[in-house]
A and B are shown apart, each in its own frame.
Chain A
Amino acid sequence: VMTQSPLFLPVTLGRPASISCRSSRSLVSSDGNTYLNWYHQRPGHSPRRLIYEVSTRDFRVPDRFSGSGSGTDFTLKINRVEAEDAGVYYCMQGVEWPWTFGQGTKVEVK
């Protein structure tokens, strides 16, 4: 089970934001990698990948996004929130099937 907090996060433009994700089991695979991902979804759009393997940023993603954590506790940080960052953020474990998502954190940019 993947548990995110908070579920709603109002953020002022230009300020930092942080979302937490906790897994009920370790996400460290037998190959030594940790398969924790972060996705962002805007209304009416498909999810897009932000971060994979805890902290590796997708090549299409600006460097104001960063991921950290280990084992069962993970964090997504946005350095300076921009208007386009509004939407819902999901963490997802890819260490074993069924892959599971957190409930989602809705970010509102003020």
Chain B
Amino acid sequence: QVHLVESGGGVVQPGRSLRLSCVASGFNFGRYALHWVRQAPGKGLEWVAVIWHDGSKKDYGDSVKGRFTISRDNSKNTVYLQMNSLRAEDTAVYYCGRDDYGTFDYWGQGTLVTVSS
């Protein structure tokens, strides 16, 4: 059974950093691209970043480009999101999602990041 479990969220001051993790199980991790998607409180879904199955390609949403870095360790079945220079507007639940050719077929339960002084 496919599972994605995010962790690493918490309360952080503006300008500081945080690293999120998403641990996968139940499938051949190295064959799938993984994404991060976020949802600010009471708002809709916003795509954040993607990393190719082998890490060779990455892309980012305009709102996080230059501040966030996505990476993965296929030996640990884990994808990461390094978030630097955090802003209040980065406050959101962060989900990881498995890419199955143009669709998210599985999502994690999410981890909440709150940026506040």
Interface positions of B (Cβ within 8 A of A): 35, 44-47, 50, 59, 61-62, 95, 100-105, 107-110
Query: A51's closest neighbor in chain B, by CB?
Result: B103
Contacts of A39 in B (CB 8 A): 45, 104
Query: 17 interchain pairs (CB within 8 A)?
Result: A33-B101, A39-B45, A39-B104, A47-B45, A47-B95, A47-B104, A49-B103, A52-B100, A52-B103, A58-B105, A90-B44, A94-B104, A98-B47, A99-B47, A100-B47, A101-B46, A102-B44
A98 touches B61 (CB 8 A): yes
Interface positions of A (Cβ within 8 A of B): 29, 33, 35, 37, 39, 41, 46-49, 52-53, 58, 88, 90, 92, 94-95, 97-104
B44 touches A33 (CB 8 A): no
